[in-house]
Structure 1
Amino acid sequence: MAHVIIAGGGIGGLATALSLARSGHRATVLERSATFAEIGAGIQLGPNAFHALDRLGVGRNVRERAVFIDELRFMDGTTGEKVAAMELTGAYRERFGNPYAVVHRGDLYQPLLAACRELDGVELLADAAVRDHAQDGTGVTVRTTDGRTFRGAALVGADGIRSTVRAAVLGDGEPRVSGHTIYRSVIPIEQVPEELRWNAVTLWAGPKWHFVHYIIGGGEYLNLAVTRDDGATVPVAGREAERAHVLGRFPGIGATARRLLELGEGWREWVLCDRDPVRTWTDRRVVLVGDAAHPMLQYAAQGACQALEDAVVLGDLLDGAGEDDVEQHLEKFNAVRRERAGRAQLVARRMGSDLYHPAGAAAEERNAMLSALTQEQLRDSVSWLHGDRDFTDSGLGGRR
């Protein structure tokens, strides 16, 4: 049995702690915030996420608050035309073995947190921001900003896109600013006209913008997220945005999408960031997971899903490992996960530029291409991602 220190108590950090504890190890989670809590709004979970959650023992609890949607719907945001829709019932669930769902981030986080608190092998410490670490041949010593030290056989950096652990391991600077600004709002479902309460993740694509909405919170809220490709160069995280400002940024939006956009209130804005894929997530006894290893834009809806996959694979590889074996298993983790997660990063980036934001003739060509796809072809296009169950296949070697 090994003792592993985990920097970061978000979705990836808790999932990793849970996975390691279920594999017989002890985990100490150091969270910089004063409490263990997940901020944010809606999140999409593909079948691969539910495979991971089931492996972690929390799938049932997450399902209790999830909304299982019928289709992913792609709309032309200016004309209002329905371009394509991938059905998520029937053949989709049969092929991929699990549903596609949407949840509030808290409804994913709380089951992970509760499961960690129930295990003797997991220690959760808030107000414990990691400052630095040092390692030798037998372990890693971690120091927090308030001067405490912790010793473990390994350190997992699960501390997000601006990871302190990554900075020490890779030293690759600040994340890449995407130039896209996203505005988010969550409103009670009672404020939404019944004819607009669609059981779908709906995306309206316009010239240099797109708008996504879906129901979350067990059917109690509507999540709104509208993105503008505006060339933003300075990161912003959760800043308040005036309703008039948000509405004024999308003057060409179609009538139905406009109705939904106008329902939003309490808007907040973020400037989206990611990083290029890298081949190395490890330094001997230190490893990165989740957004610390492979931060990606939201456009493939896979950020949390890939973090959950990381947790399962890391726990599997360390199952039965002793302290002397940790380093080689972390290297194996890096080798089996980097291609898949790296491909997801690049796919998410291309979706924003090539699929969601074209204008004019390019948008017409996109619509023609998407509308010509059959349901089987749509499923084929996501099979490498949604259908993988060992979480190590990049999808480049063949179709599942």
Structure 2
Amino acid sequence: MPVTPSPLHIAVVGGGIGGLAAALATARAGHRVTLVERAARFGEIGAGLQLAPNASLALDELGVLPAVRHTAVAPPRLVMMDALTGDEVTALDLRGAAYTDRFTHPYLVTHRTDLHAALLAACQEHPDVTLRTGHTVAAAEQDGTGVRLYFAEGHARLAADAVVAADGLHSRLRQALVGDGEPTCSRYVAFRGALPTEKMSGRMSQHAASEAVMVWAGPRMHLVQYPVRRGELYNQVAVFESDHYTPESDDWGTEAELEERFGGACEAVRDALPLVSRDRRWPLYDRAPTDNWVHGRIALLGDAAHPMLQYLAQGACQALEDAVTLGQALGQYADPAQAFTAYADRRRERAARIQTNARRFGEICHLDGMGATLRNMLLSSRGPEAFEDISWVWTPAPATAPTL
């Protein structure tokens, strides 16, 4: 990336995958970065992540793809199964010539903590990245020369030329700048986690050995399975719609509902369900797309800008695309506000389209009755190299030349 004549000081708020990627991309563009994270230490929670080729490309451009590949698995197939009948509906070949000729970069599955660790290590090794934990942003003020961040813990304020808000789904900076309320709950909830593959037997052991990504689609529920961490762990995510959701209560999406919703599933799914982690439930949220990504010298990134449902497996992928595009813009424009505007202009339409289509794909996945029958009939006619409908998701828009 070209380096601007006068390096800037950019503050990044949030030490998750999007924030670390943004810090790394910004530093690689020639700027000094201070990343602040409210937790006492860096870390990630959750289970597996699917990294489509657009994410692998972004990781390659950030210089961390080899580290991620060291622990990730490259699945041979992406398979949709009918959760009620146990029949295969359709599958895509993720290692064949048709895939590699079209996408170049691999489709990977990894544990979220492994991806986070690779990005964190790269930031720790970069001389222009400073990492600070235990810093909760309470307020931000900006003028024509910079931005000042104030912290709830009473730390001295942080002055920077510009700020990237990568503080997640419930972004405080988004609320202060956009003021569009809380994200939308989909009424769906996920139970997810990874277990040692040695604990599996029978059909589950066979599925793990295949290394395929398995998506079991059913009425108002689905199960996703794939190996992570060199195949040592098997990731499982059980998702279902709750009949008892109320915005005022947390008593919905319970284990009892999980068992009830999956009660009519095929034997393979029922066998897997007892091994799905029950330690924590994850309500699923998104927002309608917004144009308000940039406010002067403050820009939103990742879930702070475009939280999406997981049905296209693109949440982390889009945050990585954001980071690469941000770094490109900051390497092309000396004025951070101008760079932020260019970044948002390049990313806004694509992210909005993926947000919207993630909702639609969730509806297709969770069809019942005749709708599910027609879905299966349509998809079963497709071959393993039928990438037409998904290629736009897996292929990021090319970077445009700067207008100076």
Structure 1 position 233, deviation (Å): 3.6
Counterpart position of 1:337: 347
* Alpha-carbon contact 1:185-1:268 (below 8 Å) kept: no
Segment drifting more, 261-270 vs 8-17: 261-270
Question: Of the candidates 315, 327, 332, which is equivalent to residue 327 of structure 2?
Answer: 315
Q: Is the 8 A contact 1:95 1:387 kept in 2?
A: no
Q: CA deviation at 1:297?
A: 0.7
Query: CA 1:313/1:265 → structure 2, altered by over 3 Å: closer, same or farther?
Result: closer
1:346 aligns with 2:353: no
Alignment of 1:249-328 (within 5 A): 249-319=261-331, 321-322=333-334, 325-328=335-338
In 2, the alpha carbon distance for the partners of 1:344 and 1:34 equals 33
CA distance in 1, matches of 2:238, 2:277: 13
For structure 1, the residue ranges without an aligned partner over 5 or more in a row are 393-400
Q: Secondary structure at the match of 1:251?
A: coil
CA distance in 2: counterparts of 1:294 and 1:144, whole angstroms = 25
CA shift, 1:389, in A, is 5.9
Kindly tell me the number of residue pairs found equivalent between the two proteins: 386
Q: Which runs of 5+ in 2 are unaligned?
A: 1-6
Checking the alignment, whether the CA contact within 8 Å between 1:240 and 1:267 is kept in structure 2 is no
Q: Deviations over 1:264-322 (max 9, x none)?
A: 34442111111100012000101000000000011100000000010000101111543
Q: If the length of structure 2 is used for normalisation, what is the TM-score?
A: 0.92
Q: Is it true that 1:366 corresponds to 2:375 in the alignment?
A: yes
Task: Establish whether residue 134 from structure 1 lines up as the match of residue 141 from structure 2.
Answer: yes
SS of 1:51's equivalent in the other structure is helix
1:117 aligns with 2:124: yes
Aligned to 1:225: 237
| Counterpart amino acid of residue 153 in structure 1 | D
Hey, what does 1:154 align to over in structure 2? 162
- In 1: Cα distance, 2:369 partner to 2:257 partner: 25
Whether the 8 Å CA contact 2:242–2:253 is kept in 1: the answer is: no
Aligned position for 2:40: 34
Q: State the Cα distance separating 1:374 from its structure 2 match.
A: 2.8
Of 190, 209, 222 in structure 1, the residue corresponding to residue 198 of structure 2 is 190
Residue 235 of structure 1: how far off its partner (Å): 8.9
Q: State the SS of the aligned residue for 2:230.
A: helix
Deviations 1:225-264 (A, max 9, x none): 1111225344999x9965x664343110101111122333
**1:135 maps to amino acid:** Q
* C-alpha RMSD over aligned residues: 1.8
**Where do residues 164-203 of structure 1 align in structure 2 (5 Å cutoff)?**
164-193=172-201, 194-197=205-208, 198-203=210-215
Amino acid paired to 2:32: R
- Distance in structure 2 (CA, Å) of the matches to 1:56 and 1:287: 20
In 1, Cα distance between equivalents of 2:227 and 2:139: 41
- Percent of counterpart pairs with the same letter? 45
Change over 3 Å in CA distance of 1:157–1:321 after alignment to 2 = same
Q: 1:17 aligns with which of 23, 26, 31?
A: 23
CA deviation after TM superposition for structure 1 residue 122, in Å: 0.5
Q: Which amino acid aligns with 2:83?
A: G
CA distance in 1, matches of 2:253, 2:177: 34
**Structure 1 segments of 4+ aligned residues over 2 angstroms from their partners:** 231-237, 239-242, 244-249, 262-268, 387-392
Whole-angstrom distance in 1 between the partners of 2:66 and 2:270:
36
